[in-house]
Amino acid sequence: MSRSWRLGWLLAGGLLLLSACASQPPQQAAEPSDPQLESSWRLARFALQNGQHDQAVVLYEQALALAYARDDAEAIGNVGYEYALAQLRAGEPEAAAAQAARTRWELERRDADPFAELFLVEAVAHYEVGQSALAREAAQTAIDLARPDDVATRGRAYFVLGMLAADAGDTVYVERALVALGDPGQDALKADRDELEGRRLMLAGDAGTAQRVFEAAADRRRELRDYGGMTRGLAAAGEAAEVARNPTAAADLYYRAGLSATIQDDPARAEIWLTKALDLAAENGLSGIEADARARLLSLAE
C-alpha cells in the first residue's frame, strides 16, 4: 500500500478508541483543587469528543499551562497526553509526537512513571509521519506497560505493530498481530481487526476478499461515528477493487471516500480519492461519477 494511503490510516481508525480511553471525565472532588484547571480541561475534552479538533488543541494548550502553573505531575501527564491526542485528530502528527515525548520527560523528571496510553499515542504519531522504528518501539513499550486487563491499549498497540508489518510486507508478523488481537469484544477493535485482515489478504494476493473485508471495516467505523476511519476503509476497498480488476466498484468506492472526506474538510485526501475516481470513471464510461468528481475537484482547487 502506497505512502499516500498510509498517512492518516491509523489516525481515523484508531483514535476513536484512544479518545474513548482518554475521555472519561475527571473524578469530581467535593472541593476541586483548582476549579479553573478542571473547567479548562472539561472544555478541551468536550471539543475533542465533538470533533472540534482545532479548538481542542487551543483549549488543551490552555489547560496544560494551568497544570504547569500548579506543577501538578498528574495533571501534566493526563492533560499532556490528551493534548497530543487532540493534535493527532487535528492532523498534526509531528506536534503530537513531540508533545507525547515532552510529557514523558516531564513525568520522568518528577519521578512519575509514563503510562501505556501515552506511549501508544506516541506510536501512532510516529507511524503517521513514517518513523517506523520509533513507532514500533513505542507500541511495544505500550504493550509492556499496559495492564493485563487493558484490552483497548494492548489491542491498539498490536494493531500498530501489525500495520507496520503490513507496510513492510511481513505477512508472518501481520498474522501474529491478528492472533494477538484475537476476537475482540469492542467494536473499534473489531474494525481494527478487519482492516488488518484486509491488509493480510492484500499481501496474500486475494484482493477480492480484501475488498469485502475493508468494506466491513468501513461499516463498523460508520456505526461508531468514526467517519474519518470510514472514508479510509472505503478508499482501501477501492484500492482492493482496483487490484481485483473491478474498475466500476473501485471508482464508486473512491468517489464515496472522496465525497465524505470533502464534507469532513479533509481536502488533501479528498483530492487523492476523487482523482482516482475521476480517472477510473473516465476510462470506464462512468459519466455520472466522472462529472461529479471533476466538479468537486475544481471546487477544491478554488
Q: What is the 3-state secondary structure (H, E, C) of the chain?
A: CCHHHHCCHHHHHHHHHHHHHHCCCCCCCCCCCCHHHHHHHHHHHHHHHCCCHHHHHHHHHHHHHHHHHHCCHHHHHHHHHHHHHHHHHCCCHHHHHHHHHHHHHHHHHCCCCCCHHHHHHHHHHHHHCCCHHHHHHHHHHHHHHCCCCCHHHHHHHHHHHHHHHHHCCCHHHHHHHHHHHCCCCCHHHHHHHHHHHHHHHHHCCCHHHHHHHHHHHHHHHHHCCCHHHHHHHHHHHHHHHHHCCCHHHHHHHHHHHHHHHHHCCCHHHHHHHHHHHHHHHHHCCCHHHHHHHHHHHHHHHC
> Which cell goes with 179?
492472533
In angstroms, the CA 124 to CA 161 distance is 10
User: One-letter amino acid identity for 219?
Assistant: D
**Which of the four pLDDT bands, split at 50, 70 and 90, describes residue 10?**
very low
Higher-pLDDT residue of 225, 67 = 67
Q: How far is CA 271 from the centre of its chain?
A: 19
In angstroms, the CA 169 to CA 172 distance is 9
Q: What is the pLDDT of residue 294?
A: 96
User: Mean pLDDT, to the nearest integer, of 98-114?
Assistant: 94
User: Mean pLDDT, to the nearest integer, of 234-262?
Assistant: 97
Q: What is the pLDDT of residue 182?
A: 87
Higher-pLDDT residue of 180, 6 = 180
In angstroms, the CA 214 to CA 230 distance is 9
**Which of the four pLDDT bands, split at 50, 70 and 90, describes residue 126?**
very high
Q: What is the pLDDT of residue 226?
A: 82
Cell match 462529472: residue? 291
CB distance 64 to 81 below 8 Å: no
In angstroms, the CA 101 to CA 125 distance is 11
User: Mean pLDDT, to the nearest integer, of 164-190?
Assistant: 93
User: Mean pLDDT, to the nearest integer, of 87-112?
Assistant: 93
In angstroms, the CA 40 to CA 75 distance is 12
pLDDT digits (tens, 9 = 90+) for 264-295: 878 888 999 999 999 999 999 999 999 999 99
In angstroms, the CA 40 to CA 18 distance is 21
Rg (CA), the chain: 20
Q: What is the pLDDT of residue 18?
A: 42
Q: What is the pLDDT of residue 229?
A: 85
In angstroms, the CA 112 to CA 296 distance is 51
**Which of the four pLDDT bands, split at 50, 70 and 90, describes residue 5?**
very low
User: Mean pLDDT, to the nearest integer, of 192-219?
Assistant: 96
Of 4-18, 64-78, 195-209, which gets the smallest average pLDDT? Answer: 4-18
In angstroms, the CA 217 to CA 197 distance is 10
User: Mean pLDDT, to the nearest integer, of 158-182?
Assistant: 95
Q: What is the pLDDT of residue 20?
A: 38
Q: What is the pLDDT of residue 260?
A: 94
Residue 228: CB atoms within 10 A of its CB come to 23
User: Mean pLDDT, to the nearest integer, of 14-24?
Assistant: 39
What is the pTM assigned to this prediction? 0.84
Of 5-9, 31-35, 196-200, which gets the smallest average pLDDT? Answer: 5-9
Q: Has residue 2 got a pLDDT over 70? A: no
Q: Calculate the alpha carbon distances from 233 to 1, 48, 292, 295 in Å.
A: 13, 22, 21, 24
Q: What is the pLDDT of residue 290?
A: 96
